[in-house]
Structure 1
Amino acid sequence: MNSENTQHTPESVSPKLQADCGQCFGLCCAALPFAASADFAIDKAAGEPCPNLQEDYSCGVHLNLRSMGFKGCTVYDCFGAGQKVSHLTFSGLSWLQHPAGAQQMFDVFVMMRHLHELLWYLTEALPLQPEGSPLQTKLQAALNETQQLSEHAPEQLLQLDITAQREKVNTLLLECSELVRAEALRQAGGSSAQAKKYGRGANLFGAKLRKANLRGANLRSAFLIAADLQGADLRGADLIGADLRDTNLSGADLTGSLFLTQAQVNSATGDQATKLPPGLLRPGHWTD
């Protein structure tokens, strides 16, 4: 599921959390399932290699994924889990070379992707807090712990309670978010009725929010599919887990938005006037 763009990360994020498909054994293309839909042209079961996957683990239709009905591939990001599982966890032995261990490798990849996503968010959160502050110290400890977990052997990784780890990290990320968003609202001169109207998991499917003042809003896990956010102010808004598929971000200001990923940006639409956080690329399918 190679992205149509080279993945770029915020300057504070390690390149190790950046997907490098050339160093991966095509794990997302084999391990993960997908169903025929607007995002995928065909059905594929988990553990079944995609028919477009080549013997060298590259994608045979990489340059034409969207036009051939594989838009979902262009918005997937493993946060660097693929190359880590391929060359560190399994020491360069691929599932094709060792078919008997293929399922274990696929299961470990899914677990590693969870861990690397947490590492991404924690690394982004660290510089948002004052140096040496209690919360930054907790964030650093959580990052160190998650990093250590990601270096475990396959058998240990598969025994990990990833739900508990995600909950532990999310508690810290939420605390960070609340402090940063409060400051964003303070700098804006007070609270915004629109920004305070929404909360985690808000159902904004197809919502008309053109030029909305959502500065400092909590849009964690919000459903913004096909929403109109043209010209909206999303500075300091928390977008962790928000579904931005076909969201219109033309002219929107996402400067300083929290926990926005390249995959989310790739799933949306926008234009040259869209302001993105540093380190995120303007997708090739966006309008001029």
Structure 2
Amino acid sequence: MPDHIAGRPSSATELRGDCAQCFGLCCVALPFAASADFAVDKPAGKPCRNLGDDHRCGIHADLRQRGFTGCTVYDCFGAGQKVSQVTFGGQDWRTGSKEHARQMFDAFPVVRQLHELLWYLTEALGLSAARPVHAGLRTALEKTERLTRQTPAELAALDVAAHRQEVNTLLLRTSELAREGTRGKNGKKKDRRGADLMGARLKGADLRGVSLRGAYLIAADLRDADLRGADMIGADLRDADLTDADLTGAFFLTQPQLNAARGSAGTRLPESVTHPVHWAARR
């Protein structure tokens, strides 16, 4: 029996979206705004025009070419299958009542936030340098997992921001421990948390052990940059150029962040993520 059904904490593989076990929730529950990422406007709760009756995307292979780049970047961290198969016991939003559908659409973004926290906590527990806070991380992981299994009404009433703050305190300490001893050329561990680095020219930059938590790196030139051991949580990498950059040992780096960036076969990544397919198509 899969871990997510048996009640044990989710494994890393279960914290990745599994569309085959989901009812297309990201294509229905979430709103789209016409932009460079989405070709059309779509309100929350309305199915995307490309969603089929089988909950599959009708243009999945051509999303980028058809103006839906945002869809190729998004990942629910496994929340879609959790809400579909666990919270609602496999009952489709199409076949239930309007109230059933509304509850499902309300629950999905809450569980998605919780699953993102599960991803970070799971990664933090894999960092040997964070052993001093492993006990606290395990407790937070178990609590977060329990929260994902609440009823729709309980999920709707959950103060996700408060829980996220509790977890963030542990993740901040994890970052400090993990970056200890990792220094750039100037011998210091810079804190660039929340920095505005949009379009920054950082080609070949030594960013080892730097905290880039929440930094704005939109369209930044990070070609050949050394990002080993950097804290990447929440960094906005939209259209950032990571060609031949070294992110070995970078932590709290998620697949959606990479999907939003540009890179190459020469970009070195942590084992927890993979090279996006569209990188290979670049010339």
Aligned with residue 252 of structure 1, among 245, 251, 259: 245
Greater RCO between the two (CA within 8 Å, min separation 6)?
Answer: 1
Distance 1:116 1:218 in 2: 23
Q: CA deviation at 1:149?
A: 0.8
Aligned to 1:153: 151
Distance 1:130 1:216 in 2: 13
Distance 1:60 1:207 in 2: 38
Aligned partners of 2:197 and 2:216 also within 8 Å: yes
Aligned with residue 191 of structure 1, among 187, 193, 200: 187
What secondary structure does 1:184 align onto? coil
Aligned to 2:74: 76
Q: CA deviation at 1:130?
A: 5.4
Distance 2:200 2:29 in 1: 35
Q: CA deviation at 1:189?
A: 7.5
Cα deviations by residue, 1:77-98 (Å, 9 ceiling, x for unpaired): 1000000100100001111011
Aligned partners of 1:129 and 1:135 also within 8 Å: no
Aligned partners of 2:216 and 2:235 also within 8 Å: yes
Aligned with residue 260 of structure 2, among 267, 283, 286: 267
Letter in 2 for 1:85: V
Letter in 2 for 1:39: D
> RMSD in angstroms over aligned alpha carbons?
1.6
Distance 1:152 1:164 in 2: 17
Q: CA deviation at 1:134?
A: 3.8
Distance 2:67 2:11 in 1: 32
Aligned with residue 277 of structure 1, among 248, 270, 279: 270
Aligned partners of 1:130 and 1:136 also within 8 Å: no
Aligned partners of 2:129 and 2:177 also within 8 Å: no
Aligned to 2:18: 20
Equivalent residues in 2 for 1:219-234 (5 A)? 219-234=212-227
Number of aligned residue pairs:
271
Compared CA separation, residues 130 and 228, structure 1 to 2 (3 A): closer
Distance 2:71 2:196 in 1: 25
TM-score between the two structures when normalised by the length of structure 1: 0.90
In the alignment, is residue 215 of structure 1 matched against residue 208 of structure 2? yes
Aligned to 1:5: none
Q: CA deviation at 1:145?
A: 0.6
TM-score between the two structures when normalised by the length of structure 2: 0.92
Quote the sequence identity (%): 57
Q: Give the unaligned 5+ runs of structure 1.
A: 1-11
Cα deviations by residue, 1:54-81 (Å, 9 ceiling, x for unpaired): 0000000000000000000000010000
Runs of 4+ in structure 1 over 6 Å off: none
Aligned with residue 35 of structure 1, among 33, 36, 44: 33
Q: Give the unaligned 5+ runs of structure 2.
A: 1-9
Aligned partners of 1:79 and 1:116 also within 8 Å: yes
Distance 2:163 2:97 in 1: 30
Q: CA deviation at 1:279?
A: 3.3
Aligned to 1:123: 122
In the alignment, is residue 140 of structure 1 matched against residue 133 of structure 2? no
Distance 1:166 1:92 in 2: 28
Distance 1:127 1:284 in 2: 26
Distance 1:190 1:142 in 2: 36
Distance 1:43 1:189 in 2: 47
